[in-house]
Amino acid sequence: MGVLEDEPSAQRWITQENRSLGGEAPLSLLDTEAGYELVLDTLGRIEYGIVS
């Protein structure tokens, strides 16, 4: 499937605080272009196994 394996995992990931995003939930960052890019970068790091 995708980077986060399945829909329930993706839903949890996007709504939970994330240390690599400064303690913010990814969903809360999607209202700005900079936040959107940060979330995409974080997903890319997850996909390629890069620890942040």
Q: What is the pLDDT of residue 18?
A: 95
Domain spans of the chain?
A: 15-47
Q: What is the pLDDT of residue 49?
A: 86
**Distances in whole angstroms, Cα of residue 34 to Cα of each of 8, 21, 30:** 26, 12, 8
Task: Report the amino acid identity of residue 5.
Answer: E
Q: What is the pLDDT of residue 50?
A: 83
Q: Which residues of the chain have pLDDT under 50?
A: none
